[in-house]
Amino acid sequence: AVDLSRERDETRERYGRHLFGQGLLLARRLVEAGESFVSVYWIDPTPAGAGGGEYDSHGRIYWHMRNRLAAPTDRGLSALVSDLWDRGLHEDTLLVVMSEFGRTPRLNADAGRDHWPHAQSIRLGGVGISGGTVYGATDKHAAFPVSDPVSPPDLGQTILHAVGVPDDLEFQDPQGRPIRASYGSVNEQLLC
């Protein structure tokens, strides 16, 4: 599954000949081989330069989005989504596209955007999630939720539920104390 040379050149090109694109192709191959959990991190295909740092663009964000980030991300993700759906893998695969934070609604002094925990966009697809649905909304500045906010614990519980983890799953710490896998609630509206 990890031998990408087994893929046609056209397929490898469709994902993008950079670490992120090839990582997404590898993820598809691992899912096909039966892996139950695969994580792909953004790996920048070009050097970040001033203000960059992967998607963590604290400076020159519009330049970085236009020249380094948006096109390879779109290319790789669209190839992955197409392959998952064309091969019927979406029925048993949950695709989650997210970052560790949202971004500040206003530019900083370096024409970048900093960490913002109050709102962010997340893409979910597969395993029964309704396609093409936008859930929730922010104010006109994309600063704060104004409808249907989803908390991190609820997102986590919804993800676990979508992949078949029992809602009441508990683990035990080294002292034998029970710890719930998630303290959130399943958001059924995301699973329509």
Mean pLDDT of 51-79: 86
Tell me, what's the pLDDT at 68? 84
The token pair that represents 176 in the structure block:
């034998």
Q: Which residues contact 19 (CB under 8 A, 6 or more apart)?
A: 43, 44, 45
Q: Give residue 26's pLDDT band: very low, low, confident or very high (50, 70, 90).
A: very high
The pTM assigned to this predicted structure is 0.88
- Is pLDDT above 90 for 157? yes
Instruction: Report the C-alpha gap between 166 and 157 in whole angstroms.
Output: 9
CB atoms within 10 A of CB 50: 10
